[in-house]
Chains A and B, each alone.
Chain A
Amino acid sequence: MAITTMDGLVSALGNNSSRIIIDKASVANQAAGRYASLWRALGQPAQAAIPTTAAVTTSATLGAMGFSNQTAPATSYISYLFATCSNSVMTLEIHDRIAHIGGFLLNTTSSQTVTGMNLDTLAPSAERIGEADYSDCQWWIEVYTDGGATASNATINVTYDDNSTGNLNTQAVGGTIRAGNMFALTPLIPSAKQGFFIKAINSVILSASTGTAGNFGFTVTRSRATLPMPVANYSVVLDWASLGFPKIPNDSCLMLVMLPSTTSTGTLRGGGKIIHG
C-alpha cells in the first residue's frame, strides 16, 4: 500500500528508508541564475559518465542516488532532506533524470541528428513521466565539455506531444558555455506552440562554429524536491510536509541540480531519507 496515514509515515521514517548522502565538490564556471547540473561533479553521488547514445537513466546508472525499488503497491517518497553549501543564496533541486543523450559538437554548422531521444521510443515508466502530455518533463541542453568563445545560436527541432514538429526559438551556445551549464528548452517553445510540450528532440544546428568542439547533449528530467540554502555553511532541513512528500517511482535516477547565485555551485553536503511503504 502507499503511505496514506500518519502511522504509515512514522513507521516508514523510523524503520523503512533508504538513505540519501550528498557530498559534492564545487563545479566552477557557472553563471548566477543559470541552472547547473551536478551530474558530473565529483563526490557522492558519484561522478557520472558523459552520455553518448540516447538512453533511459535509472537508479542503477552511475551518478544516481541509489535507493531500493519497491514492490507495488508499496511506494517511495522523499521525506527528509538537508543540505549546506559553501556559497550563499543557492537552491538545490532533486530531479529524476529520465533520459539523456550526449556527444554533440559546438564547432560545426552541419545539422546534427539526434537519434532516439524520444520519450515514446525510450518508454520510461509512466510513473516517472508524470502527466501524459509530458508537461511534467523538463528538457535541457546540458554541457559536458566547454565550448568556444565565438557567438553561435542553436536551432533545435523537437516533436511535441501532439506529434507535430517544429523549431524552438534559438538558444545562444557561444561565448564559451561551460561544463555543467544547463539551458531549459521549455521557455524556448515559440508562441505558435504554446500549450504543447516537448516529447522528443530531433536535430540541432548551430548558426556558427564556437571554435571549440566541446560536448553537449539533451537531458529530460522531472523535478521532485527543492531546498533553498540562503546562507553559506548553514544547514537547511526540510521535513516531509515542507518537501510536499514527493513520490519517487521505482528506477528513478535522482540527480542534483543547483540554481547558483554566483559563478560556482559551491561544495555541497547533505543527506536525507527516501522512505518506503
Chain B
Amino acid sequence: MTINTISALTDALNADYTSVVINKSSLANQIAGRYVSLWTASGLPLTGTIPSTPVVTTSATTGAMIFPNQTSPRISYIGQVTLNPSLTGTSIEIHDRLAHMGGLSGGTTLLQTITGMNLDTLAPSADRIGAADYSDCQWWLEGYTAVGATAASATINVTYSDNSTGNLSGATVGGTGVRYPGNTTALTPLIPAAKQGLYIKGVNTIQLSASTTGTGNFGFSVTRSRSVFLLEIANKTYTFDWASLGFPSISNDSCLQLFVLPTTTSSGAIRGLCKLVHG
C-alpha cells in the first residue's frame, strides 16, 4: 500500500528506507541565476554518462541516485534530506531525469537533426511523465563539454503536445549561453505566444546562427522536478522534513539528479544525505 498515514510514514522513516549519499564537486563557469545541471559533476551520485543518442534514463543509469524499485502498490517518497553547501545562497532541486541526448556540435551552422528525442517514442512510464499533456516535464538545452566562446543563436524545432511543430528562439550556445558543462537553458520560457498552452514533447532539430569556434558537446534533456531546497549560508547544514519537501512520490526507475540555482559563477560543492522512504 502507499504511505497514507502519519504512522506509516513514521514506520518507513524508521525501518523502510534507502539513504543516498550526496557529495558533488563544484562545477565552474556557471552564471548566477541560471540553472546548473550537476549531471556531469564528479562525486556522488557518480558523474553521469554524457549521452549520445536519445535514451530514457533510469535509476540504473550512471549518475542517478540509486534506490530499489518497489512492488506495486508500494512506492517511494523523499522523506528527509540533509544538505550542506559550500556557497552562500544556493538553491538545490532534485529532478527525475526522464531522458536525454547529446553529441551536438557547437562548431557548425548546419542543421543538426535529432532522431528519437520524443517522449511518445521513448515512452518513459506515465508515472514519471506526470500530466498527460507533458506540462509536468521541463526541457533543457544542456552543456556536456565546452563549446567555443562565440555566441551563436540557436533555432530549436520542437514537437508540441498537440503534435504540431514549431521553432523556439532565444537560446544561445557559446558565449554567455550554454557553453560549459552544466550550463543549461530552459526551453519552456521560449515557447512563442502562438503556442502558449501547449507543451513540448519532442525536440527535432537545432541550428546555430554561427560556429561557436569550438565543437564541444551539448544536447537536450527532459526532467520533472521533485523537490526544492534553499541553502542560505555556506557550510551550514540544513535539514528538510517530509512536510517541507512536499512529500514527493518517486516512481520506480526514476533517475534522480541534482540541479543548482547559484548566485555566483560556480555551483559549489554539495554534501548531504537523501532519505527515500518506501511503503
Contacts and interface: CB of A to CB of B under 8 A. Distances in A.
Contacts of B189: 23-25, 42-43, 267
Nearest to A241: B243
Contact of B228 (A231, A237, A240, A241): A237
Contact of B6 (A10, A46, A80, A269): A10
A15 B199 CA distance: 24
* Listed residue (A235, A267, A273) with the most chain B CB atoms within 10 angstroms of its CB: A235
Contacts of B4: 7, 10-11, 14-15
Contact of B196 (A46, A232, A239): A46
Contacts of A213: none
Interface in B151-203: 186, 188-189, 191-193, 196-199
Contacts of A13: 242-243, 246-247
B196 A42 contact: yes
A84 interface: yes
B150 interface: no
B2 A15 contact: yes
Contacts of B131: 19, 66
Interface string A258-277: 00000000010111110000
Contacts of A31: none
Contacts of A271: 225, 228
B118 interface: no
B188 A44 contact: yes
A132 interface: no
Interface string B224-248: 0100111010000000001111111
B5 interface: yes
A47 B2 contact: no
B230 A235 contact: yes
Nearest to B73: A15
B86 to A, nearest CB: 16
A236 B249 contact: no
Contacts of B7: 7
B130 A233 contact: no
Given A15-B4, A42-B193, A232 B247 contact: no
B89 A80 contact: no
B244 to A, nearest CB: 5
Contacts of B6: 6-7, 10
A208 B49 CA distance: 65
Interface string A12-37: 01110001010111000000000000
A131 B6 CA distance: 33
Interface string A83-127: 010100000000000000000000000000000000000000000
B193 to A, nearest CB: 6
A233 B89 contact: yes
Given A43-B189, A82-B228, A233-B32, A62 B196 contact: yes
A13 B175 CA distance: 42
A10 B9 contact: yes
B3 interface: yes
Interface of A: 6-7, 10-11, 13-15, 19, 21, 23-25, 42-44, 46-47, 62, 66, 79-80, 82, 84, 86, 231-237, 239-241, 267, 269-273
6 contacts: A7-B7, A15-B2, A15-B4, A233-B263, A234-B232, A237-B230
